[in-house]
Amino acid sequence: MIPRLVIAAPSSGSGKTTVATGLMAALRARGLAVSPHKVGPDYIDPGYHALAAGRPGRNLDPWLVGEELVGPLFLHGAAGCDVAVVEGVMGLFDGKAETDPGETGFASTAHVAKLLDAPVVLVVDAARQSASVAAVVHGFATFDPRVRVGGVVLNRVGSDRHEELCRAALAAAGVPVLGAIRRDDAVSVPSRHLGLVPAAERESAAVRAVERLGALVARSCDLDGLVRLAASAPPLTGPAWDPATALNSATALKEVPGSATARTAGERAGGTSDAAAGARAGGAPDMAAGGARAGGGVTVAVAGGAAFTFGYAEHVELLRAAGAEIAVFDPLRDERLPERAAALVIGGGFPELYAAELAANEPLREQVAAFGGPIAAECAGLLYLCEELDGQRMCGRVPGRARMTPRLTLGYRDAVALRRSPLTRVGERFHAHEFHRTAVDHADGPLFGWPGGADGYGDALLTASYLHLHWAGSPGLAQRLVSSSRSPSVLR
């Protein structure tokens, strides 16, 4: 059994990240092994969680991976830990309908709390109210009887008298107060156009910020009470997710082209199985027999550094399970790709903030442009592979120009692959997420399409789009990348 808490709030901006990150740091300082998690597709908060807990921050998103994988992925990430802290997203009951009407509550914090059977701690911004906080908490505690609100942390409390009024009102409502945090601008984390500044960009400043959050929560919250509440969560049944098992299961499904089992399992996982997609597209699955061992021994180079900070931990685990060795490179600093790189993974981040520095690293840009192996690029990776980004020369691998815009593009996507690429086959469905303020102008046909939109560029060696995929929902993607790799890479 893994004691666990979900840190939620009535709305964004209430202080979830402050409390969740600070609680992780405070519990770790007590000597507990803490497993950090985040509801939804966000990459930034897990970076701070990792600093606080000393373990990779992991995402739990029913849309990206399927409801049935949320529990197993949680158990995988929390294995061997004393307690798990799960930070929610938006308001407690806000889900996919916030970007896609008709999906009320799906992929919300409440949805994940129910899937994990975990008690919820509600973080309430108490500024400009006192007794009214009890009405807010009462509404959230009774809205869905399947969601157990086990306590409240009051945030932005102004004075001793303010705290007394709030506590008295909540005592009458029957909800325990597990913390009261005073206003303290010294512990704020700087933000930018897509949210908080990633921890990897702030380095020592981020470490100090997390330490301050931990000290703040330790002196403001009832840590013993929070641990007791976490321990009240019942045992989770079922096995933990395992990358090798996931790959073998994906391969086994491909051995029965067009079967109902393959279609159903592929769709549950948040995509369409190769076998079913191949049958619909008039072709057979092209996975090499032997599963995770096929194509082993290759090196997959993964972009990192301050410009490319976004990535799910499970991607690297799946690539390793597929037989790959991982080599991280920094496009801001490294002038050469890792030795014997056979495939590239260039994930998300903020290359628009480093466009001049990326452009100045001409040796690496030329190597990436001439790279002869498969490339998987998401969002920031797409921008880096374009000809230009805000007038700065990029790699030129994608025939298009990228630019910043004032418009935020945000939402979950039920996308269909329109072209074949290293990761996609025509007709396959992918559950994805999009989040950016840039646009790419190119004339070639898109790689993905969905109701009301289209995106991306693909060819025999390149999968590049704004869409973020969670490979745990479609583990065959890791195997495809490894199986299509060459070692060493051949410059074209």
Tell me, yes or no, whether 222 lies in a domain. Answer: yes
Tell me, yes or no, whether 490 lies in a domain. Answer: no
In the predicted structure, residue 313 carries a pLDDT above the cut 50: yes
> Are residues 359 and 266 located together in one domain of the fold?
yes
Those residues whose C-beta lies under 8 Å from the C-beta of residue 174, and which sit 6 or more positions away, are: none
**Mean pLDDT of all residues in 351-363:** 95
**Which 8-state DSSP code applies to residue 187?**
G
Say what the pLDDT of residue 444 is: 77
At how many degrees (to 10) do helices 476-483 and 313-321 cross? 50
Could you tell me the CATH number of the domain that includes residue 64? 3.40.50.300
For 13-33, write each residue's pLDDT tens digit: 999 999 999 999 999 999 999
> Are residues 61 and 106 located together in one domain of the fold?
yes
Say what the pLDDT of residue 187 is: 60
Say what the pLDDT of residue 252 is: 57
> Percent of the chain at pLDDT above 70?
84
**Mean pLDDT of all residues in 298-321:** 95
Catalytic residue check, 379:
yes
Tell me, yes or no, whether 410 lies in a domain. Answer: yes
**Which 8-state DSSP code applies to residue 232?**
T
> Among 231, 253, 269, which residue terminates a domain?
231
Say what the pLDDT of residue 292 is: 36
Catalytic residue (choose from 81, 166, 221, 379): 379
Say what the pLDDT of residue 284 is: 27
> Are residues 431 and 393 located together in one domain of the fold?
yes
> Are residues 164 and 282 located together in one domain of the fold?
no
Tell me, yes or no, whether 237 lies in a domain. Answer: no
> Are residues 30 and 51 located together in one domain of the fold?
yes
For 426-436, write each residue's pLDDT tens digit: 999 999 999 98
> Are residues 393 and 309 located together in one domain of the fold?
yes
Tell me, yes or no, whether 269 lies in a domain. Answer: yes
> Among 173, 201, 231, which residue terminates a domain?
231
> Are residues 249 and 390 located together in one domain of the fold?
yes
> Are residues 35 and 98 located together in one domain of the fold?
yes
Would you say the pTM of this structure is higher than 0.85?
A: yes
> Domain containing 141: what range?
4-231
> Are residues 187 and 273 located together in one domain of the fold?
no
> Are residues 169 and 44 located together in one domain of the fold?
yes
For 457-476, write each residue's pLDDT tens digit: 999 999 999 999 999 999 99
> Are residues 439 and 333 located together in one domain of the fold?
yes
Please provide the DSSP assignment of 271-320 as one string: B--HHHHHHHHT----PPTTGGGTTTT-EEEEE-STT--B--HHHHHHHH
In the predicted structure, residue 425 carries a pLDDT above the cut 80: yes
What is the residue-averaged pLDDT of the chain? Answer: 86
Number of domains in the chain: 2
For 156-182, write each residue's pLDDT tens digit: 999 999 999 999 999 988 999 999 999
In the predicted structure, residue 222 carries a pLDDT above the cut 50: yes
Could you tell me the CATH number of the domain that includes residue 290? 3.40.50.880
Beta bridge partners of residue 86, listed in sequence order: 6, 37
Instruction: Dig out the tokens for 144 from the structure.
Output: 């869905």
Tell me, yes or no, whether 175 lies in a domain. Answer: yes
Tell me, yes or no, whether 489 lies in a domain. Answer: no
> Are residues 365 and 287 located together in one domain of the fold?
yes
Tell me, yes or no, whether 39 lies in a domain. Answer: yes
> Among 209, 231, 253, which residue terminates a domain?
231
**Mean pLDDT of all residues in 222-234:** 98
